[in-house]
Each structure stands twice: as C-alpha cells, then as structure tokens.
Amino acid sequence: MSDRWEPAAFKERIDAVLSAFLAEEADRLLDVDEELAPVAEQLERAAGHGKRLRAAFCYWGWRAAGQPDNDALLRAAASMELVHAAAVVHDDLIDDSPLRHGLPTAHRALREPLRGRPRARRAARSLALLVGDLLMALAGQLFATSGLPAAYLARARPLWAALARELIAGECLEILHTGGRPDTAVSLRVIRYKTAKYTVEHPLLIGGLLAGAETRLREGFSAYGLPLGEAFQLRDDLLGLFGDPGRTGKAGLDDIRAHRPTALLAETWQAADAAQREELRGVLGRRGLDADDLTRVRALMREVRAPERIERMIRARVEDATRSLDGLDLPAHAHRALTALASAATDRPH
C-alpha cells in the first residue's frame, strides 16, 4: 500500500481479513455441532458492514509513528472491528433494536430458527449475548495471532484491558441514565466512554504502542481522538433521528422510544419551554410510536434549534482534533490521512 490514503482499498483489505477469519471460526463452531449453524451465520454476519474506521485509526497510529505498511499490522488493526462488532451485538440486545444496516439485529434474526419453541424470544436473546461475547474473545485472538513480534504486542496489550473496561463502563452509564432527566454533561460522559474512546482514541493508541510511539505522540493521539470520537457519536445521534433509515439502516424513533440519554435530547430539553417539555414527556419511553410522532419530535427539535446546537458541538470538536495534529511531528502522509479520517468520521450522509 502506498503512502497515499485510499479508503476503499484499505476497506477491501480489512474486509478480506475479517471474512476469512470469521469464516474459519464459523467452521470451527460447525465442527462442534451442525445445530450451531444459526449462531455461526450470525458470527460471520457480525462484521460485514462499515467503513472500517476503527481499523483505519489503528493503522494510522502505526504509520504516524513512522512504521511502514505491514500485513501483520493490518490483522491487528482488523481486530478493532471485531471489538465494534461485539459492542454492536450487545448494544442492539440491550436496546432491543430491530434493525442494523437495514437487516434484523442478531437477537431478532436468531428467533427464526427457534420458532415454535418455548420461550423462543428469550432463547434468541441468550444466543445473541453469547455471539457478542465470542466476538470480543475473537478480537483478542486475532490481535494476538496477527503475526507481529511478541515484544510489539506486549507494548499494546495492557491497553486492551482499559478498552474493555471503559467500553463496558460507558454502556453501563447509558443504562443507568436511560429514562432520567436529560442532561448534556451526562450525555457527553456516556458518549466518551461508550463510543469515543474505542472508536478513535484507543485504536490510535494501540497502533502507536505497537509501533513504539513516544509519550508526546501518544498524548497527541488522545488530544485528537477524544474530541473526534465524541463528534462521531454526536453525528450518529443526529442521523439516528433525522437521517434516512434507508441510509442509516436504523429505526428513526429508537432513541426516543428507549428514552436514551443522547446529547440531542438533552439540548432539546434544555432549550424547550414548559409546553414543549410536556410534549416531549408524552413520547419519551413510549412504545408504539409512529411516523406522526417522529414528525412531531423532529419539528419540536427544530423549533428549539437543537440540531444546530449539536452541529456546532461537532464542528468545534473536529476543529480541536485536527488542530491537535499541527503540534505533532507527523509524517506528511499520516497528517493527511488523519485529517481525511476526521472528515470521514463526521461528514456522513443523511
């Protein structure tokens, strides 16, 4: 791979690694028992979508530290996508989300092979939970067997514990605050730990540690990664409510129906008057919401200019992230790639 950043070519390489790895693991499940076919199918499907941003940040953490393109590093970077796949399966299960990328989520898809059996829905949820657990274990396996020298892997291995701990902490914080009074500070804390760190900062740091990056560069990765990761999730929250489900692959009312502690909801609540808050109370956490409810919620949010406030928060964080790169002694190709990735992570189509 040349020093020119080519996202499509990179994605193809990561897709090939993941496809081969998960197909092999699915076959090993089937070697245990053919009855595991539905589980094996979900395992193979789990990492089938995405821009491979997490792998890209890991890759460019390595390249920014002066290391060349390397197939073993690519396998290590691909493990970041399995962390994401595990988080998605668990997140969809916790939220009881019906769709992801326009397809049934794992716990919904696994109902089909259990149709007609006692407590089929509960059993499908249990199977999905185990798929998510297996994906996280496989992420560690792919990383450890990437082919990089043991001394390189040892430098980055301690960060895996922090990644898992903080990802789970963020998910727990979201659960604890779901249904509570909307608060922007709380929402941003959830975002930081549930998404921002494992999407940008941790992959960058892992790539840098594998490459032997010095302390100053690692500090720069955090200064870039944290605000950019927050901007990524703020954009995701906007797309979740205002995006086209045909593009986002998600149901538009999921966050409102679940009364999740999103920054978009918190900013709406803060700017709303008494009557508007009462209208919000009428829909938050309510099952059976329809397209008319979505239209009303969108209109209310636009009335108080909450989407504009979130857009300003996104812009400020992207500016902070890209500005932090200027203070680092980066190879020119790494500076260009990380700048382009900041746009790719936050300028997603509606």
For the chain, which ranges sit under pLDDT 50?
none
pLDDT of residue 285: 80
**pLDDT at residue 294, rounded to an integer:** 87
Predicted confidence at residue 349, as pLDDT, reads 59
The DSSP annotation for 288-306 comes to: T--HHHHHHHHHHHHHTTH
Question: pLDDT tens digit string along 317-334?
Answer: 999 999 999 989 999 999
The 10s digit of each residue's pLDDT in 268-282 is 999 999 999 999 998
Q: What is the pLDDT of residue 286?
A: 83
| Domains of the chain listed by start with CATH number | 7-346 (1.10.600.10)
SS3 category, 69: coil
Task: Write down the pLDDT at residue 250.
Answer: 63
pLDDT value of residue 95: 84
pLDDT of res. 23: 97
Q: What is the pLDDT at residue 317? A: 97
Check: CB of residue 44 under 8 Å from CB of residue 26: yes
pLDDT computed for residue 251 by the predictor: 62
- What letter represents residue 153's amino acid? L
- Cβ atoms of 164 and 125 within 8 Å: the answer is no
Question: Of 101, 104, 346, 347, nearest to 246 (Cα)?
Answer: 101
pLDDT of residue 258: 82
Residue 244's alpha-carbon distances to 231, 241, 252, 342, 348, in angstroms, are 19, 9, 8, 22, 12
Integer Cα distance of 110 and 125 in angstroms: 8
